[in-house]
Amino acid sequence: MINEAARAGEVWRTRPAAERADVLDRVADALLAAADDLWPVAARETSLGEVRLRGEIARSAVQFRLFAGVLRDGGHVEAIIDHADPSATPPKPDVRRMFQPVPGVVGVFAASNFPFAFSVAGGDVASALAAGCAVVVKAHPGHPELSRRVAEVMRAALPDPDLLGLLEGFEAGKELVQHPLVSAVGFTGSLRGGKAIQALIDERPDPIPFYGELGSVNPVVVLPSALADPVGLAEGFAASLTLGVGQFCTNPGLLFVPDDADLLKAITAAVSATTGGTMLTPAICEGFESGVSRLDERLTELARGLAGSAEGAVAPRVYTADLTTFSLGLPEFAEETFGPSAIVVTYKEITDLPEVLRNLPGSLTATLHSADPVEAAPLVPELARLAGRVIWNGWPTGVAVTWAMHHGGPWPASTTPMHTSVGATAIRRWQTPVAYQDLPEPLLPLELRDDNPLGIPRRVDGALSVG
């Protein structure tokens, strides 16, 4: 299958960007047209409901359409032209540079928690196809039938069905990572899973890039000026914590709050009023129960929601600690417990926060709640070093599919914090720069020719041109 994908990819990479864009739009159309058939399959395998799953199918379509727009814009190749200057000392040759698709095949490991948007029809697949690469996906065992059905829908919309391969099983994942024709790998999952993939890559004679999203506690800091509405804060936290039974990569796992009795009372009430549910797989449920058991031994439980009536459902759990106790418990207290669990950390003075924040692991997001930008200003640089996305007076769950979005962060949030798995610049993971020196015009890619036949934005002799 990987060999067939590589063959199809050699043709796909030569297709003009505008043609690839049209194909991505067709994939989006096909996913939406198949929604009535796909979401029931996902519901059976994941316990997620119709509204959530239909919304996720729509999100997958949006991702493909976003990258269609990226291709039509043309800026993703970052074309640069420096004309020759014989009078310079030393003389300068003609050098032209742009991004091109990585050679070979992109391997993608599907995630459990988003059976559409981070799986076979996910952003990694959309961005890799947009870059001009063939993709082989290792299906997640939590939704195998859905993976097959989605792959069928997508292949029917592609000019060559071999552009999208699907593998299943543990050994297939190992084969994917170590196959000589695979040139980069994307992964969304656990820290343990990400380390296992990296170890396999390290065994290759030619190590390849690994873009993994591995784990995140997504700290939220509430400052004193935000205490005017403790009930609203508490309800927002509880809703974000329990969204998707806490199985989003951006659920808030740490909440730093002033030692305020009204806010703590409101958090207790809001969390106690929540209802959990069935987790995606038995293994994820087991991991959650193990994580909260460790917290039970060392922290005080602040609030517990209801488990719900479904078989195997879990209850949301929130613990509390003062800042000193929390700090002494690091790094263990800052380990992600995947599911509806969080620690509420109380502090006395804002000036005590920076030192503790510096000791936290990297996260996808970090959030500030404040009514006073002056009060919050000292903490913004700390959070910007900690996370790939800093949020003001909001909640981290929900990652918009936009040009500017960055969904990554310092280890262990991701293996390469300069890259994102959501947003237009996600395409850069599957590209490599090539510089052409003194080539005759007919031999240059269209993007680098002087007349700019594609009308794309470029930087020419240091000046940016919008095309």
What is the C-alpha to C-alpha distance for residues 170 and 436, in angstroms, rounded to an integer? 42
User: Catalytic residue among 56, 133, 175, 249, which?
Assistant: 249
Burial class (CB in 10 A: 0-12, 13-18, 19+), 178: middle
User: Catalytic residue among 45, 213, 235, 447, which?
Assistant: 213
**Residue 213 among the catalytic residues:** yes
What is the C-alpha to C-alpha distance for residues 272 and 264, in angstroms, rounded to an integer? 12
Q: What are the residues facing 10 on neighbouring strands?
A: none
| Residue among 134, 108, 311, 297 nearest 212 (CA) | 108
**Residue 133 among the catalytic residues:** no
In sequence order, the 6+-apart residues with CB closer than 8 A to the CB of 401 are 59, 62, 63, 66, 123, 422, 423
* Contact by Cβ (8 Å): 314, 340: yes
| CA dihedral sign of residues 374, 379, 383, 384 | positive
Token couple for 450: 């002087």
What is the C-alpha to C-alpha distance for residues 87 and 83, in angstroms, rounded to an integer? 12
* Alpha carbon 407 to chain centroid, angstroms: 5
Please state whether the peptide bond connecting residue 93 to the residue before it is cis, i.e. omega within 30 degrees of 0. no
What is the C-alpha to C-alpha distance for residues 71 and 427, in angstroms, rounded to an integer? 10
Active site residues: 213, 249
